[in-house]
Amino acid sequence: MQDTGQLTRGMRRRAAKMARRAEMVTPHTLVAGVDVAMAKSAVVFMRASDKAPLGQLTIPTSAEGLSTLVHQANRLGDRFHLSRLVVAMEPCADWRILARAALALDVPTVFVQSFALARSREIDDLTRDKNDLRDARLIAELAAERKFIDMQAPTGVWAELRPLAEARMDRQSERNAALQEQRAFLRLIWPELLAAVRDLDGSHVQAALRLGLTPMQIAAMPVSEFTERVRQEHRLRFIRSMARRIWEASQLATACDELATATLRIKLAGQRVQAAEAAITEIDQTMLARFADTGLSRLGGQIRGLSDVVLLNLLALIGDPRQYDSARCLPKLAGSNPTERSSGQTERSGGIHRRGRPSLRVLAYRAAVGLVMHNADFRARFQALTQRKQNKLCKKAAYIAIANKLLRTLWHMAVTDQAYDSAIACGERRSEAVAA
């Protein structure tokens, strides 16, 4: 017989995943679909073998509510001879409360993705009508069809790190908004700076703005005093030549009617910047203190251009990388995996999906920019993507590709327990663990 195909690694992984789902949801399983809400959650019980609804219930969104669900499920299981209970829910609202309660009671839990639930509403009766009991029924049906993800709520150190990482992202957004406000008022009262200092949006000029000094105050200072003040404030991150350029531009500054108001707004924004940076520093210290508890502290310092703070924030937003089947899961989790629109002889790719965690996608992009600047391996890949003759990428798309490469590299290092290898990263040779 002629061999008509080959069983690829992707096929094997998918077969293993479907086998795990089949073991979790058997024909003798009672599925409890839960539409989670802030105060009370709707529950629909369904037999997995034929998707027959067996009852409905409303429970408080609490550990006591889940106990009530389990008690009712036991009664239905005895009545209809169903030996196994699986709780299915959509990861939204206060789902972690019920997930942790289910973990404490040793009740298997599966999760239905929000996108799949939204499409199921339309397939069900071609409408987008939504109510709690209908969503609970659709969640139970999707779980009975084994269209779910078998993840678990993060526990231990991972449950603590992710809220900290999200809070850090919020503080960064507040800091950036305050810097934007400073620059807006700077353009109003100091147009000479725009002409004299071209890279106004650079990090060095931002450092000067964080001091909260007005153009007239800088003009009144000797250049040495201004440079020293900036250097002390920002720990040598501010170069002397940039300080001199700003001081020389300040000599052209003139008083205007808006000076008093704009100066006050610049100072207030500077205070918000300092408060946000203090909060970011405190969060970083708290997270770094727990780095060793993740079991992945060995990854720190291996990739040049990736600081331990950025690495730990990436891991916090990802969760334990070892729980994912393959490296491709991490770009999908971030929503930065590219779309494909191929058919027949036509091969076509599009933009990224954006169906993932925006905070992880943003942080990975920022990390990619730093790696291109400071890491020769990632810089070579970036140049290859932006300079090749066919399918040449713009800089933004290339940075996204580098971000995906970083996520896949972190998964490989975490799962295989191997150190960072430049030859593997550059594609010069393949990892034996992956090849197997």
> What is the per-residue DSSP string for 408-425?
HHHHHHHHH-PPP-HHHH
Higher pLDDT pick, 356 / 310: 310
pLDDT at 91 over 50: yes
Per-residue pLDDT of 265-275, as tens digits, reads 877 888 888 89
pLDDT category of residue 55 using cuts at 50, 70 and 90? very high
pLDDT-derived band at 436 (thresholds 50, 70, 90) equals very low
- The residue among 171, 164, 140, 152 whose CA lies nearest residue 76 is 140
* Per-residue pLDDT reduced to its tens digit, 103-158: 889 999 999 988 889 899 999 888 888 899 999 999 999 999 999 887 776 778 88
Give the chain's radius of gyration (CA, Å): 27
CA 395 to chain centre: 21
Q: Taking residues 55-70, what's their average pLDDT?
A: 93
CA distance 208 to 203: 9
Is residue 18, in this structure, part of any structural domain at all?
Answer: no
Residue 167 lies in a domain: yes
243 in the same domain as 172: yes
- Among 84, 119, 144, where does a domain finish? 144
Residue 205 in domain? yes
Largest CA distance in the chain: 90
Helix, strand, or coil here: 350?
strand
How many domains does the chain fold into?
A: 3
- The CA distance from 289 to 281, in Å, is 12
Check whether residue 319 and residue 269 sit in a common domain. no
Task: Assess if residue 10 is contained within a domain.
Answer: no
Residues 385, 279 share a domain:
no
SS3 273: helix
236 lies in the same domain as 321: no
Has residue 27 got a pLDDT over 80?
yes
Looking up residue 47, the CATH number of its domain turns out to be 3.30.420.40
The answer to whether the beta carbons of residues 122 and 135 sit under 8 Å apart is no
Q: How many C-beta atoms lie closer than 10 Å to residue 38's C-beta?
A: 8
Domain range for 317 is 294-339+352-435
Domain end, chosen from 121, 144, 167, is at: 144
Q: Do residue 357 and residue 251 come from a single domain? A: no
- Tokens at residue 268, please? 């207030």
Task: From 92, 82, 132, select the one nearest 112 (Cα to Cα).
Answer: 92
Token pair, residue 152, equals 């678990």
Confidence of residue 33 (pLDDT cuts 50, 70, 90): very high
Q: What's the pLDDT score for residue 61?
A: 93
Q: Who has greater pLDDT, 204 or 246?
A: 246
- Tracing tokens 């609804």 back to the chain, one arrives at 53
242 and 167 within one domain: yes
Is 266 in the same domain as 385?
no
Q: Which residue type does 375 have?
A: N
Question: Do 134 and 27 share a structural domain?
Answer: yes
- 149 within domain boundaries: no
Asked if residue 344 belongs to a domain, the reply is: no
Based on the fold, state whether residues 107 and 195 are members of the same structural domain.
no
Q: How far is CA 415 from CA 325, 419, 435, in A?
A: 10, 11, 14
- Domain for residue 383, yes or no? yes
From 89, 117, 144, the end of a domain falls on: 144
Same domain, 233 and 172: yes
CA distance to 47, 124, 153, 225, 288, per residue, from 119 (Å): 22, 9, 24, 63, 41
- Asked if the structure places residue 8 within a domain, the reply is no
Give one DSSP letter per residue of 54-94, joined into a string: EEEEEEESSHHHHHHHHHHHHHHHHHHT--EEEEEE-S-TT
Neighbours of 199 (CB within 10 A): 10
Same domain (yes/no): 246, 261 = yes
Residues 178, 80: one domain?
Answer: no
Residue 316 vs residues 166, 299, 323, 329: alpha-carbon distances, Å? 9, 14, 13, 16
